[in-house]
Amino acid sequence: MRAQLLVAGALAVTWIDSSAIPAGRVIAADAASLAYAFGGFEFSIVESTIEVTEDTAPVPAVAAAQTFSSWQMALIGCRCVADVSWGLRAAGRVAFINAVSW
């Protein structure tokens, strides 16, 4: 948000935030150079799952996390697994800067 307010022209680009990128790092990618393809899709629908409501990405899920049964709550679970491949059509189309402090 600070970059969009303080950096000239920052409102003209699309910004995507990710918790997988360390604080202070900015990555720029040329979206026109990105090539991707989708393969087969596999869908599964179930009515009896145990949901773990943990969002801090523990490995493995801790037993203390709150759980609920989709069967008891009359929910239907839908899962889609897709094969995706991607790459850049040209070299040098991604750059990053560390220690940004806007």
Rounded CA Rg of the chain = 20
User: Which tokens sit at 45?
Assistant: 């629908």
Predicted model pTM: 0.46
Q: Establish whether the linkage from the previous residue to 22 is cis, with ω within 30° of 0.
A: no
- Rounded to the nearest integer, the mean pLDDT of the chain is 80
pLDDT digits (tens, 9 = 90+) for 45-75: 988 888 777 766 656 655 666 788 888 888 8
pLDDT tens across 19-30, in order?
888 888 888 888
